Structure 1
Amino acid sequence: MARKIGINFHGVGAPVRDLEDGEAPYWLSEAQFTHVLDRIASAPDPHQFVVTFDDGNLSDYEIALPALKQRGLTATFFVLTGRLDEPGSLNRDHIKTLIGGGMSIGSHGIAHVDWSLLEPAALDTELSKSREVLQELCAKQVTEAGIPFGRYNAHVLRALRHHGYRVAFSSDMGLMNDAAFLRPRTSLRGDMTETEFDAILAGQMPPAKQLRRALGMTRKRLLPLR
């Protein structure tokens, strides 16, 4: 069971749609983005990194895809099906081009909502309908999900498994076990310092933070009990 470093991006460059409250810090400049990709591509083992993108922004196609291909890297793109074909977001042809370029597609749900707060019926709709749309579009099984905001609980994890997902990516930071169902990753922010980027790309986390992460992940996986 390999331990890998999950790196998650959202938007790159100048947004071409209205952003949600609190979303702007998760957009990186193109220079920051390509710098991180260069660091990954030049690592002794680039396969140590698992690269993902959330939200299905247009920059996934216009900026990320050519940059990844230029460096021989691949990534998984978690798409919000409710934003498909909307201005500033991916359209159906973009997704087919991503797949043709060797990239993978996963579900981020329909709307950008906190799955841990949804009633069971609404959660089932988010997980099942988004997967159906993407499977029809991709012409293959979609088995990975990127959890919006990284917020989950036992109900969310059970529902993901029930609806056929084999992997769920959170935002718990730190190293991931690439054989586990729940796989943590770190979302990069445009306001991070070079020192912070260095620590993330090195897979470094202070012992106290590792302990808090482990306790937090255990609590979220087990609660609520019913």
Structure 2
Amino acid sequence: MARLIGLNFHGIGTPARDLEEGEAPYWLSRAQFSDVLDRVAASPDPKAFVLTFDDGNLSDYEIALPALNQRGLTATFFVLTGRLDETGSLARDHVKALLAAGMGIGSHGIAHVAWSELEAETLEQELTQSRDVLQELCGGPVTKAGIPFGRYNARVLRALRRNGYRTAFSSDTGYMSDTAFLRPRTSLRGDMTPTEIDAILAGQMPAARRLRRAVGMIRKQLLPLR
């Protein structure tokens, strides 16, 4: 079982669409993004980093894909199918191009909503309909999910398993296991200091924060019981 560091990105550069409230801090400049990728590529073991992208922004294709290819890195892109072909978001052909370049494709749902707050029927639709659209585009199974806003509970995890997802990526920060169903990541923000990014890339987390994270993850995986 390997301990991996999950790095999650959202948008890069100048947004080509109107952002939702709270999205802007998660956009990195091109320079910030390039610096992180350079450091991952130059690390003793680049495969110790799991790179993911949420929301299906156009910058995934226009900026991230060539940057990853240039450095010999791969990533998984979690796509919002409700935004496909919209201005500033990935088009269907872009998803196919990402897959053809050796990137992974996963579901981020249909709409950008917190799964933990949805009624059972709506949650099922988010998980199944988004997966079906992506499987048709990819010509194969889609078994990874990126949880919107990192907000989940036991009911969401049960629904993911029931609908055939084999891994679910959260935003709990810290190390992830390459054999676990639930895999925490750290979302990088444009307002992070160099010191904060250094700590993330080094996998550093204070003991008290590690304890809070562990307790929080256990609670969310167990509750609610139904």
Cα shift readout 1:33-64 (whole Å, capped 9, x = no counterpart): 00000000000000000000000000000000
- Other-structure match for 2:193: 193
- 1:19-168 to structure 2, matched below 5 A, reads 19-168=19-168
CA distance in 2, matches of 1:13, 1:28: 6
Cα shift readout 1:146-202 (whole Å, capped 9, x = no counterpart): 000000000000000011000000000000011000000000000000000000000
CA distance in 2, matches of 1:130, 1:22: 23
The 4+ residue runs of structure 1 with deviation greater than 3 A are: none
- 1:206-225 to structure 2, matched below 5 A, reads 206-225=206-225
| SS of match in other structure, 1:224 | coil
Percent identity between matched residues is 76
What is the CA RMSD across the aligned residues, in angstroms? 0.3
CA distance in 2, matches of 1:93, 1:190: 28
For 1:167, the aligned partner's letter is T
- Other-structure match for 2:177: 177
- In structure 1, list runs of 5 or more residues that go unmatched: none
For 1:34, the aligned partner's letter is S
CA distance in 1, matches of 2:91, 2:12: 17
For 2:23, the aligned partner's letter is E
Deviation at 1:221, TM superposition (A): 0.3
For 2:218, the aligned partner's letter is T
| SS of match in other structure, 1:53 | strand
| SS of match in other structure, 1:158 | helix
Deviation at 1:225, TM superposition (A): 1.4
Q: TM-score if structure 2 supplies the norm length? A: 1.00
Q: TM-score if structure 1 supplies the norm length? A: 1.00
CA distance in 1, matches of 2:96, 2:143: 17
| SS of match in other structure, 2:53 | strand
- Other-structure match for 1:15: 15
